[in-house]
Amino acid sequence: MNEKPEKLIDKKGLRLDGRKADELRPLKLQVGVLPNADGSAYIEHGKNKILAAAFGPREMHPKHLAQADRMVLRCRYHMAPFSVQERKSPAPSRREVELSKVIKESLEPALFHELYPRTGVDVFVEVLQADGGTRCASITAAALAIADAGVPMRDLVVACAAGKVDDTIVLDLYDAEDKLGVADVPVAYMPSLNAVTLLQMDGILTPAEFEKAVNMAMDGCRKIYELQKEALKTKYMVVKEVEE
Amino acid sequence: MPTFFEKKQLVTPGELLAEGDYLPGENTYVEENKIFASRIGLVDSDNKKVNVVALRAFYVPKVGDIVIGTVAEVGFNGWTIDIKSPYTALLRASDVLSRPFKPQNDELSQVLNAGDLIVAKIASYDRAHDPQLTVGEPGLGKITRGQILRVTPTKIPRVIGRKGSMISMIKQETNCQIILGLNGVILVTGKNPEDEELAIAAIRKIEQESHTSGLTDRITQLLKEKKAKVEEKLE
């Protein structure tokens, strides 16, 4: 993937990995994979493999970070050294610090901060393998981990990106499209409340294209939301089926 | 004013439960006159009130609750107690000693040391202050014998049963004394370990099948079967 292919979309309208313009990558979601965490989730989004763990609400450490009137959410997004082709230094990079903030801010509207003052919720996102769109997959997994920890939420947060590759608006960009494409628009969304919690854009789009991309990303989010709910229910359904 | 659920349906956070003339109960919230779930759990409605019985939650202190905690730290004039909650509780030395507390005379770690378990009552708690415990009532204080188990705090009401039917049945069948900490910690004390194991097995089963009906009957059956087995072995 070092040389730029001439076209990212072929004559039939298919992308380099064979998907249609509005097709998601295959997804696999699992909840409760880490018994040591209060809540956890694992996501496989195309070639992305990401673990998320949530702890709390618990007493804040260091104590001066606690807020007298609200709960504090902390996130750490981290990429494993083996998550990309070239070894990535395990030290937090500028990009990881930024993504930690972005993920935190996209999850915050879903929480009832005022209910548990002086406490903190910690979310750790560990990218085991990256293939473009990790911030979106991380948000989807992190929301599941928080819900699994039993922290009350307004809604599960789902994220999905859309963008422009060659001249076409496409859904769910993967690594090559992200790097060689024209623009990338990640969107995080709470489907039940119809509220967008994250909206970024990297690249240049006309207002019409932007709107089309946002709507496409939101449609993608709704599809992932169904899988997300299913994954959360599956963990607790196992218990239900035992004696039925 | 429709509702959007069947009784005992499993719901996830953000699921729309009812619209219009309904009251939000536990683990739900209202947004624009609509009631949504805020935790994963099973929905139920009681008249006009929509409740979600959470399958996963943590303990939030309430004044008057009986809890079971572990001594985390021995301080200058009291102890900090871990009550499996987002907030750590405090127990003052003057509350435990029936006489005035003098730091030069009393060595606190001889009364209660780190790792000791206690049954206590929440004496005070509000948003701004950590919960304070008291042991100044009969039945409260240091735990010296028995076995401890943990369940999700939301399942404690199920272990108690309707008007205490479940818990009194288990106590009767197993000859054990059972103290339920509302923070999800349960103390079982019996005459011998076998009785305790029996009670623990019953509580574990309740925890797993808490959302099903006719549970009391099945637990009674389980206890009778297991008791028969133990007796067989003895003969």
Query: What pLDDT is recorded for position A4?
Result: 67
Residue range B179-201: average pLDDT?
91
* Residue A222 contacts B where some CB pair is shorter than 8 Å: no
- pLDDT category at A119 given cuts 50, 70, 90 is very high
At B114-157, the pLDDT tens digits run 999 999 999 999 989 999 999 988 889 999 999 999 998 988 98
For residue A242, being part of any structural domain is answered with no
For residue A84, being part of any structural domain is answered with yes
DSSP label at residue B155: G
Q: Do B56 and A192 touch (CB under 8 A)?
A: no
Q: How close A150 comes to chain B (CA, Å)?
A: 4
Q: Do B87 and A59 touch (CB under 8 A)?
A: yes
For residue A2, being part of any structural domain is answered with no
- Flag whether pLDDT at A240 surpasses 60: no
3-class state of residue B226 by DSSP? helix
Domain that holds residue A146: 27-237
| Structural domain total, chain A | 1
Q: How close A40 comes to chain B (CA, Å)?
A: 13
Nearest to B14 by CA among A38, A61, A157, A230: A157
Q: DSSP for chain A?
A: --SPPS-SB-TTS-BTTS--TT-PPPEEEEE---TTSSEEEEEEETTEEEEEEEEEEEE-SSGGG-BTTB-EEEEEEEE-TTSSSSPPPSSPPHHHHHHHHHHHHHHGGGB-GGGSTTEEEEEEEEEEE--S-HHHHHHHHHHHHHHHTT--BSS--EEEEEEEETTEEEES--HHHHHHSSEEEEEEEETTTTEEEEE--EE---HHHHHHHHHHHHHHHHHHHHHHHHHHHHHHHHHHHHT-
Residues of chain B with Cβ-Cβ distance to A229 below 8 Å are 12, 15
At A123-142, the pLDDT tens digits run 999 999 999 999 999 999 99
% pLDDT > 90, chain B:
49
- Flag whether pLDDT at B62 surpasses 90: yes
- Flag whether pLDDT at A52 surpasses 50: yes
Which is higher by pLDDT, A83 or B212?
A83
Residues of chain B with Cβ-Cβ distance to A149 below 8 Å are 56
Closest-CA residue in chain B for A60? B86
- Flag whether pLDDT at A16 surpasses 80: yes
Contact predicate A58/A120, CB 8 Å = yes
Q: Which domains does chain B have, with CATH numbers?
A: 10-54 (2.40.50.100), 66-142 (2.40.50.140), 147-234 (3.30.1370.10)
- Flag whether pLDDT at B226 surpasses 90: no
For residue A15, being part of any structural domain is answered with no
- Flag whether pLDDT at A239 surpasses 70: no
Asked if the interface predicted TM-score (ipTM) of this complex is over 0.95, the answer is: no
Alpha carbon distance B142, B68 (integer Å) = 10
**A70-74, A222-226, B42-46: least confidently modelled range:** B42-46
For residue A89, being part of any structural domain is answered with yes
Alpha carbon distance B103, A140 (integer Å) = 53
% pLDDT > 70, chain A:
95
> Which CATH number do you get for residue A31?
3.30.230.70
- Flag whether pLDDT at A202 surpasses 90: yes
Q: What is the mean pLDDT of chain A?
A: 93
- pLDDT category at A146 given cuts 50, 70, 90 is very high
- pLDDT category at B1 given cuts 50, 70, 90 is low
Rounded (10°) CA dihedral B126, B131, B135, B137: 20
- Flag whether pLDDT at A243 surpasses 50: no
